[in-house]
Amino acid sequence: MAAEAEVLTVATHPTFQRQGLARTCLRDFLSHLQQMAAEKVFLEVAEDNVAAKSLYSKEGFLIAGRRKGYYTATDGTKSDAIVMQKLLH
């Protein structure tokens, strides 16, 4: 296993949101990474995704950087990507 890992996508169908499913999946993934001796994990989240940023912060992720104008909405507006990381040791 590499020393670093990345979360690509965490999504919950709207019918099942707010039930802790994303938190459970994230925790299971982080536990697996620790068992595999990964040292840190990264992810990106849209700046305006308040729920996801809250989840990641509560799970110990810290802001590591920003990608300006990274996401483009269907109406053409752009939003920044917040790069977050968590140390796993």
| Rounded Cα–Cα distance for residues 76 and 58 (Å) | 31
Q: Is 71 a catalytic residue?
A: no
Q: Is 47 a catalytic residue?
A: no
- Find the catalytic residue in 6, 39, 47, 56: 56
Element containing residue 5 per DSSP (H, E): strand 4-6
- Find the catalytic residue in 44, 59, 70, 71: 44
What's the CA angle centered on 25, arms 24 and 29, to 5 degrees?
115
Residues known to be catalytic? 44, 56
